[in-house]
Amino acid sequence: MISRKLSLLIILASLAYVGFGQSTDEPRNEPRKGRPDIPGTFLVDFGFNIPFGKNGNFNTNFWGSRTLNLYYQGEKRLGSSKLSVLPGIGLGLERYRFSNDATLQYKAGPGGLFDSLIFVPAESRFIEPNRINKSQLIMNNLDILLDLRFTANPNDPNRSLKVSVGLKGGFVYDSFTKIKYRENSETKKIKDKQDWNLNQFRYGVTFRVGIGNFNAFAYYNLSPIFQVDGAPKGTELNTFTTGISLAAF
């Protein structure tokens, strides 16, 4: 299943490459100086995830709750204006580190089905006490984004102020909990791949501001982390992500 979804990513990225390579306003017979002659932009975001709402036992460590986004965006300038549209696609890799060394677990509900989600101490996963290094929830997403950008000086974008707002939507193609611990002087990991009643689709709004290829970004996730009827008791969370990004090509 994962390989098919990644194949879809490659196909869509290739289509974006071809389509926007033909629509760029810069003549194709004039190579861009100082950079490869590739249409569009590869964007790398690094940021921190901040859950907010009713957290129940979803208590996270700020420095350990990170996002890495790897995106490709095309760009189409709107006539001779300072505005441009940037559709894109890529991977959004999110992780949340629990500050209380808890982890997720299913328990039996009505009818004996293991569908009720709870937090339990990570030590309960057959690990000796006081051996936990960290416990995380990890979600890997395939994202599609669409930005509207203002460039103060479109004729010199590498040194110009840029401000953009946009929309981003995607789906979770991989999710698991990970517990890192020490045993007999060795560092070991336990990974448990489940959907964890996570909201399989996400959508939200983005904001970017910067100069040239360097900018700060923010993303507000309008969709909750967990499904409405599947969240752990007392947990109703959305997320806010902020950080820095670097554009290449």
Question: Which residue(s) pair with 144 in the sheet?
Answer: 89, 169
CA 65, CA 196: separation in Å to the nearest integer? Answer: 18
Q: Tell me the DSSP string of 212-234.
A: TTEEEEEEEE-S-SB-TTTSPTT
Domain span at residue 110 reads 2-26+35-248
Percentage, residues of the chain above pLDDT 90: 63
Mapped onto helix, strand or coil, the DSSP state of residue 5 is: helix
Q: How many domains does the chain have?
A: 1
Query: Does pLDDT of 20 surpass 50?
Result: no
Which letter, b or e, does each residue of 97-130 get, where b requires 16 or more Cβ atoms within 10 Å of its Cβ? bbeebbbbbeeeeeeeeeeebebeebbebebeee
Residues 6 or more apart whose Cβ sits within 8 Å of residue 68 = 44, 45, 46, 93
CA 122, CA 139: separation in Å to the nearest integer? Answer: 19
pLDDT band of 136, cuts 50, 70, 90: very high
Query: Does pLDDT of 86 surpass 80?
Result: yes
Residue 110: predicted pLDDT: 62
Q: What are phi and psi of 6, to 5 degrees?
A: -70, -35
CATH number of residue 140's parent domain:
2.40.128
Residue 70: predicted pLDDT: 97
Residue 116: predicted pLDDT: 82
Query: Does pLDDT of 3 surpass 80?
Result: no
The candidate with the shortest Cα–Cα distance to 161, out of 205, 199, 95, 214, is 214
Mean pLDDT computed over every residue of the chain: 85
CA 142, CA 71: separation in Å to the nearest integer? Answer: 10
pLDDT in tens, 223-242: 999 998 889 988 999 999 99
The candidate with the shortest Cα–Cα distance to 98, out of 199, 177, 189, 192, is 177
- Could you tell me the pTM of the whole model? 0.81
